[in-house]
Amino acid sequence: MDTQVVIIGSGPAGLLLSRLLHLNGIANVVLEHRSQDYVLGRIRAGVLEMGAVDLLHEAKVSERMHIEGLIHEGIEISFEGRRHRIDFADLTGGKSVMIYGQTELTRDLMDALAEDGVPPRYEAEVVAIRDIDGPRPTITYRQNGEEHDITGAFVAGCDGFHGVSRASVADKVETFERVYPFGWLGVLSETPPVSDELIYANHARGFALCSMRSKQVSRTYVQCPLTNNVEDWPDDRFWDELRKRLDREAAEAMVTGPSIEKSIAPLRSFVAEPMRFGRLFLAGDAAHIVPPTGAKGLNLAASDIRFLFRALLEHFVEGSDAGLNAYSQNCLSRIWKAERFSWWMTTLLHLFPDDGPFGRKLQLAELDYLTQSRAASTALAENYVGLPFD
């Protein structure tokens, strides 16, 4: 089989690229190692920058998001028993973020591609990527016990941190990584959110975050040791610990309930350079990971796809490779800024075992300055809502 673009991975990055290419008449095939149900079962991010929202609108999959999503014009920072609001709209000239779960976004893209008659090929395991330096790379994949070959002009590796795309060029990649000495225990529950906006809490017992997926579904987190297991955290223990890390008003307002999903996620910062290898382009988690503190993971994936889609459109429609040649540089410029912001938010809000009392005092001084200084608050707000592309 032959196509124009082979996309490996059916997460939001791969699906969004497929949809945008399809709408513009560029043939593509999405190969996904897992089942459709498995992909939809992954519970991930829920904060979208307006740049990502605009791209979903361009892909014509934003209707349900605009009905069910929540516009947030700020966040709250909690420390020493008090909450302080960072007003995005005031500090950035009216900008905001959209709360809409990655699972719902993925479902919207899946439904659109199915309606177009070009759904991903699920349970199709890529076993080889060959000839990426030639004019027509070949992808070999295994499905239903049989191997198949597909060729294309370009390959988009959107298959995540553990995927085959980056692994296939491991000898050519330079990686940069920082692994954090703790994880996030996350709970999804059918309970109303604690507050109308996200609460980021710095506490002597550790970090906590009160987020949401809707007005009826909460997504909450507490920092925990990486040695912990989910079984160590029955629901009652989780809610009790979360309550201890919040200010009194939030703790009293919190509604508890049985968990729908519970997991512990490690935190890491990771970047692979470059992001182009001949006709193979890495995008999303295949090229970079950020700790979730800054809400940048899904937004960086959308940013990569924005650059890659426009570059491919320029190639196929205008016959220019300028965008393809600049892809890695354009992406990495935004990625490293997001890595810096996510690292800063993580170090500001979490309890680091080796920092001791001195480190704790520095955190509190930084938080006090952040919430008292308009310049410092503006810097946080500008990064949180998303830096400009140009």
User: Catalytic residue at 72?
Assistant: yes
Q: Determine whether 200 is an active site residue.
A: yes
Terminal-residue alpha carbon distance, the chain:
38
Residue 266: cis peptide before it, omega within 30 degrees of 0: no
CA angle 118, 121, 125 (to 5 degrees): 155
Q: Backbone dihedral region of 35: left (phi > 0), alpha (psi from -120 to 50 degrees) or beta?
A: beta
Q: Which of 33, 262, 288, 296 is catalytic?
A: 296
Residue 292 known to be catalytic: yes
| Backbone angles phi and psi of 315, in degrees to 5 | -65, -50
Q: What is the b/e burial string over 145-178, where b = at least 16 CB atoms within 10 angstroms of the residue's CB? A: eeeeebbbbbbbbbbbeebbbbebbeeebeeeee
221 is catalytic: no
- Maximum CA pair distance of the chain? 63
Give the active site residue among 12, 33, 72, 350. Answer: 72
Among 122, 141, 180, 200, the active-site one is 200
Distance, CA of 346 to CA of 302 (rounded, Å): 22
Query: ∠ at Cα 40 (36, 44), nearest 5°?
Result: 145
The Cα–Cα gap between 88 and 85 comes to 9
Q: What residues contact 272, with CB distance under 8 A and at least 6 apart?
A: 166, 173, 174, 175, 282, 286, 287, 288
The catalytic position among 120, 193, 291, 292 is 292
Non-local (6+) Cβ contacts of 232 within 8 A are none
The rounded distance, in Å, linking the Cα atoms of 11 and 57 is: 18
Distances (CA, A) of 148 to 41, 108, 117, 124, 205: 27, 28, 20, 9, 53
Catalytic residues: 72, 200, 292, 296, 384
